[in-house]
Amino acid sequence: MNFDRSLKIAPSILSADFAAMGAECEAIEAQGADWVHVDVMDGHFVPNLTFGPAMCAALRPHIHTVMDVHLMIAPVDPFIDAFAKAGADIISVHPEAGPHTHRTLQTIRGLGKKAGLALNPGTPLDVIEYLLDLTDLVCIMTVNPGFGGQKFIHSQIEKVRRLKRMIGDRPIHIEIDGGVTPETAPLVVDAGANVLVAGSAVFGGGSVGQPEVYGRNIRAIREACLAAV
Ligand code: DX5
Ligand code: ZN
């Protein structure tokens, strides 16, 4: 498992072909994805539905890197155990998804998983001040969660910069989720992010039959960032 702090590209399978999900995960890994980002939506916390722990368990044998599970469900606590058993490596929750986020993070770590906190564009950083010592990753949402292909919200760049200062020397990943493209990626990397989730910018134009497009798309994001730093 590669959890070091080097730049990671984590394609979101929300933009993949749902009828070929196992093959899609293998294709993006073969084309240079560092992690695989799995978006779980409940039609209640966010206005869209995807899939649950059974899908994650089915995909696990097809993911050889890190399975990065982003839970957009509320209440979240009753499902943590199921996603841990399904093989998630990182489980990220939104602080609005339960009354005791501190306990939720303890539960995730207690199950031997990395604990992530995901913050909506409108959620301030103060919420996580007393949670950072239990956190392995903070995901700054640069769109309102629910759908792929939305426009990057630029106000979040300053939030990333502030988060970086807040984290200090703690070993916490800063992940960006939403609207990441070769144009927006360098802005957030410059502000301190090291994990870039990208759905439409990775899967756009490609397919399981044409996986080299995924490789080109991943390289375009990575190279835009390396050129910027
Ligand atoms: C949005 C999801 C994202 C999304 C990103 O709710 O959490 O992971 O799939 O998609 P793009 O990269 O297309 O904005
Ligand atoms: Zn996500």
Looking at residue 2, its pLDDT comes to: 86
Q: Which ligand is nearest the CA of 147, by number? A: 1
Give dist(CA 135, CA 117) in Å, integer.
7
Q: Residues lining ligand 2 (ion), CB within 5 A?
A: 39, 70, 177
- What type of residue is 64? H
Task: Report CA(77)–ligand 1 centroid distance (Å).
Answer: 23
Ligand lying nearest the CA atom of residue 41: 1
Give the pLDDT score at 36: 98
pLDDT of residue 229: 67
Tell me the CA–centroid distance for residue 147 and ligand 1, in Å.
Answer: 6
CB 144 within 8 Å of CB 124: no
Angle between helices 212-228 and 21-30 (to 10 degrees): 50
Walk along the chain (229 residues) and give the pLDDT tens digit of each residue. 789 999 999 999 999 999 999 999 999 999 999 999 999 999 999 999 999 999 999 999 999 999 999 999 999 999 999 999 999 999 999 999 999 999 999 999 999 999 999 999 999 999 999 999 999 999 999 999 999 999 999 999 999 999 999 999 999 999 999 999 999 999 999 999 999 999 999 999 999 999 999 999 999 999 999 987 6
Paired tokens of 15 = 């933009």
Query: Residues with beta carbon inside 6 Å of ligand 1?
Result: 12, 14-15, 37, 39, 70, 143, 145-146, 148-150, 177-180, 197-201
Give strand ranges (E) for the chain: 8-11, 35-41, 66-72, 90-93, 114-119, 137-141, 173-177, 195-198
Q: Which mutation among 9, 18, 39 tests ligand 1's pocket best, with the greatest number of atoms within 8 A of CB?
A: 39
Cα-based distances in Å from 166 to 127, 154, 183, 208: 12, 20, 26, 41
| Closest ligand 1 atom to 145 CA | 6
Q: What is the number of the ligand 1 atom nearest to the C-alpha of 202?
A: 12
| Distance from the alpha carbon of residue 198 to the mean position of ligand 2, in angstroms | 9
User: Measured in angstroms, how far is the CA atom of residue 133 from the centroid of ligand 2?
Assistant: 22
pTM for the structure as a whole: 0.98
